[in-house]
């Protein structure tokens, strides 16, 4: 299965990322296109994208996760959440297991991002407003959300 939505088609949806595409985050800037597709293996795709220079961004609650997150760069935090960045060299099997286990946890969000420069991350629960991580300033970028258990991906592209 492969479905592609153009910018014009996305404009017709009430909330394309919650109801149509189902991303675990909010995006302030509507992408040029969104592609949903079945992939052979989520884990293999994740490793390939990390090798291509993508960063894995993880938002998680401030609850302790010990050794898994100890060596990862912290991008931001607030009183409720922490935001980490993972690359090819910092990714571990233990982290894969944890992400797979937490895939449907409403307090977690993770996705691949091609370029981090200039992207604005607004952590969830900031000021009690929302439960979703919000991204903005995604100029000429690619964001990939992997659905680990069902081996699917959602790719958002900005031109």
- The 10s digit of each residue's pLDDT in 24-73 is 888 888 899 999 999 999 999 999 999 999 999 999 988 877 789 988 99
Q: Per the structure, how many domains does the chain have?
A: 1
Strands 25-27 and 133-136: parallel
**Residue 109 burial (CB < 10 Å; 0-12/13-18/19+)?**
buried
**Residues in the chain, total:** 159
Answering whether pTM is above 0.95, one says no
Q: How far apart are CA 66 and CA 8, in angstroms?
A: 45
Q: Cα angle at 156 between 151 and 157, to 5 degrees?
A: 135
Q: Which domain holds residue 109?
A: 2-157
pLDDT at 118 over 70: yes
H or E segment at 35? Answer: strand 33-38
H or E segment at 61? Answer: strand 55-61
Q: How far apart are CA 55 and CA 69, in angstroms?
A: 15
Lowest mean pLDDT across 4-13, 19-28, 62-71, 109-118: 19-28
Q: Which residues contact 87 (CB under 8 A, 6 or more apart)?
A: 50, 55, 56
> Given this model, what pLDDT does residue 126 score?
57
């Amino acid at each position: 299965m492969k479905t592609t939505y153009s910018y014009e088609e996305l404009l017709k949806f009430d909330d394309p990322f919650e109801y149509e595409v189902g991303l675990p985050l909010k995006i302030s800037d509507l992408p040029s296109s969104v592609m949903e597709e079945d992939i052979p293996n989520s884990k293999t795709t994740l490793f390939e994208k990390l090798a291509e220079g993508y960063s894995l961004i993880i938002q998680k609650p401030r609850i302790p996760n010990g050794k898994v997150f100890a060596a990862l760069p912290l991008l931001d935090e607030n009183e409720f959440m922490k935001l980490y960045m993972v690359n090819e060299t910092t990714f571990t099997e233990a982290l894969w297991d944890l992400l797979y286990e937490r895939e449907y946890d409403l307090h977690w969000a993770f996705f691949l991002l091609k370029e981090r420069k200039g992207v604005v991350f607004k952590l969830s629960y900031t000021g009690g407003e929302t439960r979703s991580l919000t991204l903005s300033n995604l100029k000429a970028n690619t964001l990939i959300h992997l659905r680990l258990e069902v081996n699917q991906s959602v790719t958002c592209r900005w031109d």
